[in-house]
C-alpha cells in the first residue's frame, strides 16, 4: 500500500483507503473517491506541484494538491489479475 | 424576496460543471433579474419565465456535490433548498459522468420534492461512448428524465413541458432503498423523531441527514433541545460504525454510491471509446508539465494584450465626449456649487463608464471564455505550485485574475474558496493586484514618462510584492490550508451566446454595486473642492506627503481622491500641481513621480473594494486591509525614495 504521491504514472491503481480529517474525506467522497475505485495518475507537474487523477470508474478528472494526495492510499492493480 | 401571490419556485440544483448556468441562461435570456458573480454562481440567480402562459420563478443555485454543506457556496444552495422549500427541483446532471452525478439525484429523491432530472451534455456522453437508455433510467429513478444539450438549446422546451406537468402532479417519490442494516437504522431513527421536531423536508430525509452530519453545528443544537434523541442518534451511529468499520457518513455515502452505479450500469451501455479526440490531444498539451507552462504564459500575455488592445481605444472614445462636456461646462458656467456638483457627477459616471468598463467587459468576456473552455481549472492546476509558495493554492488563481479588471468582483469570487482562511488571505492580497484603474495610472505616468520597460518592471515588482505579502500573511494565518481539490472538467467548445450572457450578468451586478459608490465619491470630492477643504487636507497630510515621501505638499489631497477612486488621483494630481499632462515633469522630478505612483498604487484599497471586503469577509478584515496596504505603501515608498537618492 502506497500513497498517491508515491504511485507510478500510467498504471491502474485501486483506492484502498482515504485518510485525513472529516472535511477532506467528505469532499473527496463527494468527488467520487470511493474505496475500490480504479484511478490513474494522468500527468505530474514539475516543481512538486499537484497531481492530476483520472478516476476510471466514474470517468472524471480531479486535481489534488500534494498534501491531499498523501492521504489517499492505493495499491497497484496487477495486470495479470 | 419572493412575492406573496407566489409564482411556483423552480430550483436548479446540480454538481459544479454540470452546465446549470448554461441551461439557466438558455431559459432565462438577458432580461433575467439577476444577482450572481464571477466564474461560479455563488449567490442564487433568479428569473421569471413565461412558458406557454405559465409564469415560473426559476432559481439557479450554486453548484454542489452533495446535500451536505461544506463550502460557503454549498451552504447557499442548501439554505435555499431546505428553508425556502421550492415547488419543484430540476436536477441538472452531466450525462457524461452519469454514475457519479446520480449520487446527488438519489439524495434529491430522498428529499421528496417534485423533481425533474435534466440530463445535460448528451452530446458529450455520446462522444465518450456512453449510451443512455432514458426510459430505463426514468423507471429506475421513478422521476421524469429529460435529455438535453443546453449549449445548443436542445431539449429545453421538453424540459419546461415536463416541469409544468410535474408541478400540478403531486406524487410521492419511492424512497431510495438502502441495504438492510442501514435501512433498519434509518427507520429506527425516523421513528424516534418527535412530531414537534423541526424536520427538513420529511422525517426520513431528516433522519438520514442526522446520521450523516457529524460534527456540525446541528448536533450541538440537538444536544440542547432534545438530549434523549441525541443519545439515541449517537447510539445508532456507533452501531453503524462498528458494523461497517467506517464513519457513519461514509457508510451512507457508500450506500448511495453503490446504488448510483447500479442504476448507471443498468441504464447505460458504455461502448469503448472510439478514438482519442483532438480535444483530448489538445488537453494533453495544455496540461503538459513543461509545455503547459509555456502555453499558460502565452495565454495570459494574450489575455492582457487583448484587453488593452480593446480597452484603450474604447476608453478614449468614451472619455473624450465626457471631457468635452466638462470643458464646456467649465467655460459656460460660473464656478458655483451647481458646477461642482455637475462636475462630480460627470466624473463619477465617466470613471464608471469610460475607465472601468472598457477594460472590464473584455476581461469578463475572456474570463468566461477561459472558464467555459475549461482552461480556468487547468490554469489553477498549473499555478497551484506557485500559489503554494505564497501559502495558498490553485483555487485562488481566478480571483486574482479577475482582480486585474476590478478588485470588487475579485473579492466576491473568493466565495468559491473552501476555507475561511484562504478567503481572508486572498481578499487581503487582492488589493495588491493592479486593477484597470491603477493600470491607467501606471500607463499614463510610468509608461508615458519613463518608458514601457519601467511600466513592465513595475508590474513585475507588483507581482513579486503580491507573493511576498502572501508569504507574510500565511505566516500569521497558520491554520493549514486544506489544499487543492479541484475537478478538472473536460475541455469543451464554448458557446458565444453563453459567454455573452454570462458577461452581461456579471457586468450588471458590478454596475449595481460599484457605480453608486463611484458617483457618490466623486460628488463628495467635488463638494470638497467647492468648499476649498483641500487646503486643510493638504495641511493635515503634509507630514506624510512632504516630510516622509518628499512630494509637493499639494499632492496631499490626491490621496483622498485615490481612496475614493484610484484613477482620479491622476487627474487631480495635474490639477493640484496646476500643470497640464505634457508639462508634468516641470513640476516634479522623476524620483517624485515614481514615489507617487508607488504610493498611490498600494495605499488603501479604493472605497468600493473596502466596502466589498467589509460586506463579504467582515469589518475586521476590511480594516486590516486598509492598514496593511497603507503600511506597505509607506514602507515601499520610503525605500524607493532612499534608493533613488543614492
Confidence grade of residue B634 (pLDDT, cut at 50, 70, 90): very high
Q: What is the pLDDT of residues B242-271, one digit of tens each?
A: 888 888 888 888 888 889 999 999 998 887
pLDDT of residue B205: 86
Confidence grade of residue B39 (pLDDT, cut at 50, 70, 90): very low
CB contact under 8 A, B485 and A34: no
Any idea which residue has 505550485 for its cell?
Answer: B385
pLDDT of residue B2: 41
Q: What is the pLDDT of residues B205-237, one digit of tens each?
A: 888 888 887 655 566 667 677 778 888 888 888
Q: Are B116 and B195 in a shared domain?
A: no
Nearest residue on chain B to A28, judged by CA atoms? B485
Cβ-nearest to A63 among B68, B288, B484: B484
Low-confidence ranges of chain A (pLDDT < 50): none
Nearest residue on chain A to B96, judged by CA atoms? A59
Compute the C-alpha angle B96/B98/B99, nearest 5°: 130
Nearest residue on chain A to B487, judged by CA atoms? A62
pLDDT of residue B5: 54
Any idea which residue has 425516523 for its cell?
Answer: B190
Give the mean model confidence (pLDDT) for residues B479-485: 75
Q: B200 or B139: whose pLDDT is higher?
A: B139
Average pLDDT of the residues of chain B = 82
Q: Are B506 and B563 in a shared domain?
A: yes
Q: Per-residue pLDDT for B71 more than 70? A: no
Q: Per-residue pLDDT for B65 more than 70? A: yes
**The C-alpha cell of B179 is what?**
441495504
Any idea which residue has 460628488 for its cell?
Answer: B523
Give the mean model confidence (pLDDT) for residues B371-395: 86
CB contact under 8 A, A65 and B394: yes
CB contact under 8 A, B249 and A50: no
A78 has a chain B CB within 8 A of its CB: no
Q: What is the pLDDT of residues B87-106, one digit of tens each?
A: 999 999 999 889 889 999 99
Nearest residue on chain B to A61, judged by CA atoms? B488
Name which of B642, B625, B555, B636 is nearest B601 in CA terms: B636
Task: Confirm whether B20 is domain-assigned.
Answer: yes
Instruction: Give the CA radius of gyration of chain B.
Output: 28
Q: Which residues of B2-26 are buried (b: 16+ CB within 10 A; e: fewer)?
A: eeeeeebbbbbbbbbbbbbbbbbbb
Show which of residues 181-220 on chain B sit within 8 Å of chain A, judged by CB atoms.
214-215
Nearest residue on chain A to B287, judged by CA atoms? A43
Whole-number Å distance between alpha carbons of B583 and B176:
77
- DSSP assignment letter at B336: S
pLDDT of residue A44: 61
Q: How far is A62 from chain B (nearest CA, A)?
A: 4
Instruction: Give the CA radius of gyration of chain A.
Output: 12
ipTM given for this complex: 0.87
Q: B11 or B483: whose pLDDT is higher?
A: B11
Give the mean model confidence (pLDDT) for residues B171-187: 79
Provide, as residue numbers in chain A, all residues whose Cβ is less than 8 Å from the Cβ of B418: 27
Q: Are B457 and B324 in a shared domain?
A: yes
Q: Among the three residues B167, B199, B216, which one is the final residue of a domain in this structure?
A: B167
Q: Among the three residues B167, B196, B213, which one is the final residue of a domain in this structure?
A: B167
| Residues B47, B36 contacting (CB under 8 angstroms) | no
Compute the C-alpha angle B51/B10/B257, nearest 5°: 130
Q: Are B247 and B140 in a shared domain?
A: no
| Residues B395, B486 contacting (CB under 8 angstroms) | yes
CB contact under 8 A, A47 and B385: yes
Cβ-nearest to A62 among B215, B292, B487: B487
Q: Are B90 and B237 in a shared domain?
A: no
Q: Are B411 and B528 in a shared domain?
A: yes
Show which of residues 92-121 on chain B sit within 8 Å of chain A, judged by CB atoms.
96-97, 99-100, 103
Name which of B163, B83, B77 is nearest B115 in CA terms: B163
Q: Among the three residues B167, B196, B229, which one is the final residue of a domain in this structure?
A: B167
pLDDT of residue B614: 92
Q: Residue B46: helix, strand or coil by DSSP?
A: strand
Q: What is the pLDDT of residues B112-123, one digit of tens each?
A: 889 999 999 998
Residues 6+ apart with CB under 8 A from B616: B411, B412, B414, B415, B427
Name which of A42, A37, A36 is nearest A7 in CA terms: A42
Q: Are B296 and B369 in a shared domain?
A: yes
**The C-alpha cell of B426 is what?**
486572498
Whole-number Å distance between alpha carbons of B187 and B207:
8
Beta-strand relationship, B54-60 and B45-51: antiparallel
Count Cα atoms within 13 angstroms, Cβ side, for B139.
Answer: 6
DSSP string, B439-497: HHHIIIIIIHHH-HHHHHHHHHHHHHHHHHHHHHHHHH--SPP---EEEEPPP----HH
Taking CA atoms, B180 is separated from B246, B257, B357, B458, in Å, by 17, 16, 60, 66
pLDDT of residue B29: 55
Q: Which residues of B431-440 are buried (b: 16+ CB within 10 A; e: fewer)?
A: bbbbbbbbbb
Of A68-77, B146-155, B370-379, B578-587, the range with the lowest mean pLDDT is: B578-587
* Segment B125-130 long-range contacts (CB within 8 Å, at least 24 positions apart): B125/B95, B125/B96, B125/B98, B127/B96, B127/B277, B128/A59, B128/B96, B128/B273, B129/B270, B129/B271, B129/B272, B129/B273, B129/B274, B130/B95, B130/B96, B130/B98, B130/B268, B130/B269, B130/B270
B501 has a chain A CB within 8 A of its CB: no
Task: Confirm whether B285 is domain-assigned.
Answer: no
Report the CATH number that the domain containing residue B59 is assigned in CATH: 3.40.50.300
Q: Per-residue pLDDT for B467 more than 70? A: yes
CB contact under 8 A, A45 and B393: no
Q: Residue B397: helix, strand or coil by DSSP?
A: helix
Count Cα atoms within 13 angstroms, Cβ side, for A59.
Answer: 19
Best residue of A50, A55, A56, A71 to probe chain B, by most B CBs closer than 10 Å: A50
Cβ-nearest to A23 among B289, B377, B482: B482
A2-76 CATH choice from 2.60.40.1230, 2.40.160.20, 2.30.30.90, 3.40.50.300: 2.30.30.90
Of B142-146, B280-284, B407-411, B424-428, the range with the lowest mean pLDDT is: B280-284
Cβ-nearest to A63 among B289, B418, B486: B486
Whole-number Å distance between alpha carbons of B511 and B353:
9
pLDDT of residue B429: 94
First to last CA, chain B: 62
CB contact under 8 A, A63 and B384: yes
The domain ranges of chain A are 2-76
Whole-number Å distance between alpha carbons of B340 and B568:
15
Taking CA atoms, A26 is separated from A34, B204, B314, in Å, by 10, 21, 48
Q: Residue A62: helix, strand or coil by DSSP?
A: strand
Q: Per-residue pLDDT for B338 more than 60? A: yes
Strand-pairing partners, residue B119, are: B93, B147
Q: How far is B206 from chain A (nearest CA, A)?
A: 19
CB pairs under 8 A between A and B: 119
Q: What is the pLDDT of residues B590-633, one digit of tens each?
A: 888 889 989 988 988 888 899 989 988 999 999 999 999 999 99
pLDDT of residue B491: 84
Q: Are B520 and B623 in a shared domain?
A: yes
Whole-number Å distance between alpha carbons of B614 and B610:
6
Taking CA atoms, B119 is separated from B47, B112, B255, in Å, by 21, 19, 23
CB contact under 8 A, A59 and B97: yes
B394 has a chain A CB within 8 A of its CB: yes
Task: Confirm whether B496 is domain-assigned.
Answer: yes
CB contact under 8 A, A57 and B482: no
Name which of B396, B434, B401 is nearest B415 in CA terms: B396
Overall size of chain B counted in residues? 646
Q: Per-residue pLDDT for B36 more than 50? A: no
Residues 6+ apart with CB under 8 A from B443: B455
Cβ-nearest to A23 among B70, B128, B394: B70
Q: B440 or B121: whose pLDDT is higher?
A: B121
Taking CA atoms, A31 is separated from A17, A20, B66, in Å, by 15, 15, 9
Strand-pairing partners, residue B11, are: B59, B89
Q: Per-residue pLDDT for B282 more than 60? A: yes
**The C-alpha cell of B355 is what?**
475607465
CB contact under 8 A, B484 and A64: yes
Q: Are B344 and B412 in a shared domain?
A: yes
Query: How many domains would you assign to chain B?
Result: 3
- For residue B527, give its domain range: 291-645
Query: B483: exposed, middle or buried (C-beta count within 10 Å: 0-12, 13-18, 19+)?
Result: buried
Express as a percent the part of chain B with pLDDT over 90. 16
Q: How far is A68 from chain B (nearest CA, A)?
A: 6
CB contact under 8 A, A64 and B68: no
Phi, psi of B130 (to 5 degrees): -100, 115
Provide, as residue numbers in chain A, all residues whose Cβ is less than 8 Å from the Cβ of B257: 29, 34
CB contact under 8 A, A27 and B418: yes
Q: Residue B89: helix, strand or coil by DSSP?
A: strand
Of B13-22, B35-44, B298-307, B533-542, the range with the lowest mean pLDDT is: B35-44
Q: Are B295 and B247 in a shared domain?
A: no
Q: Are B207 and B328 in a shared domain?
A: no
Strand-pairing partners, residue A76, are: A13
Name which of B219, B245, B250, B216 is nearest B232 in CA terms: B219
pLDDT of residue B41: 46
Show which of residues 18-57 on chain A sit within 8 Å of chain B, judged by CB atoms.
22-32, 34-35, 42-50, 52, 57
Give the mean model confidence (pLDDT) for residues B522-543: 83
Q: Residue B270: helix, strand or coil by DSSP?
A: strand
pLDDT of residue B148: 93
Amino acid at each position: 500500500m502506497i500513497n498517491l504521491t508515491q504511485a507510478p504514472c500510467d498504471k491502474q491503481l485501486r483506492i484502498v483507503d482515504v485518510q485525513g480529517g472529516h472535511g477532506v474525506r467528505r469532499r473527496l467522497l463527494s468527488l467520487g473517491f470511493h474505496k475500490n475505485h480504479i484511478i490513474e495518475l494522468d500527468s505530474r507537474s514539475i516543481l512538486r506541484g499537484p497531481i492530476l487523477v483520472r478516476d476510471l470508474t466514474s470517468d472524471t478528472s480531479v486535481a489534488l494538491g500534494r498534501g491531499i494526495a498523501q492521504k489517499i492510499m492505493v495499491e497497484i492493480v496487477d495486470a495479470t489479475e | 424576496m419572493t412575492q406573496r401571490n407566489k409564482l411556483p419556485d423552480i430550483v436548479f440544483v446540480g454538481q459544479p460543471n454540470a452546465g446549470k448556468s448554461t441551461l439557466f441562461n438558455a431559459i432565462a435570456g438577458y432580461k433575467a433579474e439577476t444577482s450572481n458573480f464571477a466564474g461560479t454562481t455563488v449567490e442564487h440567480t433568479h428569473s421569471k419565465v413565461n412558458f406557454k402562459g405559465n409564469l415560473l420563478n426559476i432559481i439557479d443555485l450554486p453548484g454542489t456535490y452533495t446535500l451536505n454543506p461544506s463550502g460557503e457556496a454549498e451552504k447557499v444552495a442548501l439554505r435555499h433548498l431546505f428553508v425556502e422549500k421550492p415547488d419543484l427541483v430540476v436536477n441538472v446532471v452531466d450525462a457524461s459522468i452519469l454514475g457519479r452525478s446520480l449520487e446527488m439525484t438519489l439524495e434529491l429523491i430522498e428529499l421528496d420534492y417534485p423533481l425533474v432530472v435534466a440530463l445535460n451534455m448528451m452530446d458529450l456522453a455520446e462522444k465518450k461512448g456512453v449510451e443512455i437508455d432514458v426510459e430505463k433510467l426514468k423507471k429506475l429513478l421513478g422521476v421524469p428524465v429529460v435529455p438535453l444539450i443546453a449549449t445548443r438549446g436542445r431539449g429545453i422546451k421538453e424540459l419546461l413541458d415536463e416541469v409544468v406537468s410535474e408541478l400540478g402532479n403531486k406524487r410521492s417519490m419511492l424512497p431510495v432503498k438502502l441495504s438492510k442494516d442501514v435501512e433498519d437504522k434509518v427507520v429506527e431513527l425516523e421513528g424516534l423523531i418527535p412530531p414537534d421536531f423541526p424536520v427538513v423536508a420529511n422525517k426520513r430525509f431528516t433522519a438520514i441527514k442526522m446520521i450523516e452530519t457529524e460534527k456540525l453545528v446541528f448536533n450541538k443544537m440537538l444536544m440542547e433541545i432534545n438530549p434523549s434523541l441525541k443519545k439515541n442518534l449517537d447510539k445508532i451511529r456507533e452501531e453503524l460504525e462498528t458494523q461497517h468499520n467506517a464513519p457513519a457518513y461514509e457508510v451512507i455515502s457508500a450506500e448511495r454510491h453503490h446504488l448510483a452505479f447500479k442504476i448507471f450500469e443498468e441504464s447505460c451501455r458504455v461502448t469503448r471509446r472510439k478514438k482519442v479526440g483532438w480535444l483530448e490531444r489538445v488537453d494533453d498539451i495544455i496540461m503538459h508539465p513543461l509545455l503547459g507552462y509555456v502555453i499558460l504564459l502565452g495565454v495570459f500575455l494574450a489575455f492582457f494584450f487583448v484587453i488593452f488592445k480593446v480597452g484603450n481605444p474604447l476608453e478614449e472614445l468614451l472619455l473624450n465626449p465626457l471631457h468635452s462636456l466638462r470643458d464646456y461646462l467649465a467655460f459656460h458656467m460660473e464656478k458655483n456649487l451647481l458646477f461642482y456638483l455637475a462636475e462630480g457627477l460627470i466624473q463619477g459616471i465617466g470613471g464608471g463608464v469610460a475607465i472601468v468598463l472598457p477594460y472590464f467587459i473584455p476581461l469578463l468576456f475572456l474570463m468566461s471564455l477561459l472558464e467555459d473552455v475549461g482552461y480556468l481549472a487547468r490554469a489553477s492546476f498549473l499555478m497551484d505550485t506557485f500559489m503554494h509558495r505564497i501559502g495558498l493554492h490553485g483555487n485562488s488563481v481566478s480571483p486574482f485574475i479577475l482582480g486585474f479588471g476590478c478588485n470588487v468582483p475579485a473579492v466576491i469570487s473568493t466565495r468559491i474558496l473552501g476555507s475561511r482562511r484562504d478567503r481572508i488571505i486572498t481578499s487581503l492580497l487582492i488589493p495588491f493586484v493592479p486593477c484597470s484603474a491603477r493600470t491607467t495610472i501606471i500607463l499614463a505616468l510610468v509608461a508615458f514618462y519613463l518608458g514601457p520597460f519601467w511600466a513592465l518592471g513595475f508590474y513585475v515588482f507588483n507581482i513579486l510584492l503580491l507573493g511576498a505579502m502572501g508569504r507574510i500573511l500565511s505566516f500569521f494565518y497558520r491554520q493549514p490550508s486544506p489544499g487543492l481539490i479541484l475537478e478538472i472538467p473536460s475541455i469543451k467548445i464554448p458557446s458565444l451566446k453563453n459567454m455573452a450572457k454570462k458577461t452581461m450578468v456579471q457586468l450588471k451586478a458590478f454596475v449595481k454595486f460599484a457605480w453608486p459608490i463611484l458617483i457618490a465619491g466623486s460628488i463628495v470630492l467635488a463638494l470638497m473642492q467647492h468648499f476649498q477643504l483641500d487646503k486643510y487636507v493638504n495641511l493635515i497630510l503634509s507630514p506624510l506627503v512632504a516630510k516622509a515621501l518628499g512630494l509637493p505638499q499639494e499632492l496631499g489631497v490626491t490621496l483622498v481622491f485615490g481612496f475614493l477612486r484610484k484613477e482620479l488621483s491622476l487627474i487631480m494630481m495635474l490639477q493640484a500641481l496646476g500643470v497640464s499632462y505634457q508639462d508634468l515633469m516641470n513640476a516634479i522630478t522623476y524620483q517624485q513621480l515614481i514615489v507617487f505612483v508607488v504610493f498611490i498604487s498600494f495605499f488603501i484599497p479604493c472605497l468600493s473594494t473596502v466596502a466589498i471586503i467589509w460586506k463579504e469577509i467582515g469589518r475586521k478584515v476590511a480594516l486590516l486591509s486598509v492598514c496593511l496596504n497603507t503600511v506597505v505603501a509607506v514602507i515601499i515608498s520610503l525605500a524607493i525614495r532612499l534608493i533613488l537618492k543614492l
